[in-house]
Amino acid sequence: MSQLEKTTATGYPSAIVWDLDGTLVDSAQDLATALNSLLTEQGKHTHTVEHVRPMIGNGVGKLIERGFRASGASLDEPDVNKLLPRFMELYSACATQNTELNMDARSVLESFYHAGVRQGLCTNKPVSVTRMILNDLDISGFFGSVIGGDSTPHRKPHPLPLLTCLDELETRPEDAVMVGDSGADVGSARAARVPVILVPDVYTGVPAVTLGADYVVERLADIPQSIPPHPPLRQSA
């Protein structure tokens, strides 16, 4: 019996912690707008949204680094840190213009809410703009804890953000499940000893089945049925 099966043998887990970008929402258009504005200010060429998608993940610093590298400029960490405040100004101004919920996200959140499952959010996106997006999409009420990339000294794949979220939800790791779409989500969950379900990654293009999750589902709507007594669509070895 897997850890996730033990966690959910009598029903749903006590808590579910969600990733944001790629898992619950598609924010690529707004991230691309902010990145391209920053690139333009710095005299660099811009990128299409589809070119920006695989750059998303592991925080906005990585997005800046990848965006400038793709424009022919290599930035070290101090250079990225200098550009971060301006990026956040640009992004905060457009973060809710085109960001939208992924298919079935609201209905799945509602399903677990009505089932009495505590829900948290653990993202590498800064917490201030995360709350802006949650409020704009009218889903902030589903979450008893919201942890952003600047809420703790470490970001995913470090376990601290996830463990902090669970602490605020008053839930033990063994009684929870993480739902995400990336290797950072798997790494954080594994380090925190929390079972992890992945949905297909809409950003990096890395097949979710290669990332070592407990379960991989084809779409968000499959998550309630992937928890026993229903069998998972795919279980890692």
Whether 201 shows a pLDDT value over 80: the answer reads no
Whether 118 shows a pLDDT value over 60: the answer reads yes
- Helix H segments across the chain? 3-7, 28-41, 49-52, 60-70, 77-92, 105-114, 127-136, 160-168, 183-192, 223-226
Cβ atoms of 108 and 33 closer than 8 Å: no
- Binned at pLDDT 50, 70 and 90, residue 207 comes out as confident
Q: What is the tens place of the pLDDT at every residue in 138-166? A: 999 999 999 999 999 999 999 999 999 99
Helix and strand tally (H, E) in the chain? 10, 8
* Residue with more model confidence, 84 or 212: 84
Q: How far is Cα 223 from Cα 86, in angstroms, rounded to an integer? A: 38
For residues 120-127, average pLDDT: 96
Q: What is the tens place of the pLDDT at every residue in 5-61? A: 444 444 799 999 999 999 999 999 999 999 999 999 999 999 999 999 999 988 899
pLDDT for position 228: 52
Q: How far is Cα 99 from Cα 31, in angstroms, rounded to an integer? A: 9
Q: 26 an active-site residue?
A: no
Rounded mean pLDDT of the chain?
90
pLDDT for position 1: 45
Residues in CB range of 187: below 8 A, 6 or more apart: 156, 157
* Neighbour count for residue 220 (Cβ, 10 Å): 22
Inter-helix orientation angle 77-92/127-136, to 10°: 30
For residues 179-197, average pLDDT: 95
Residue 125 has what DSSP assignment?
Answer: S
pLDDT for position 233: 38
Q: Out of 19, 30, 214, 222, pick the active-site residue.
A: 19
- Helix H segments across 137-227? 160-168, 183-192, 223-226
pLDDT for position 79: 97
pLDDT for position 204: 67
pLDDT for position 29: 97
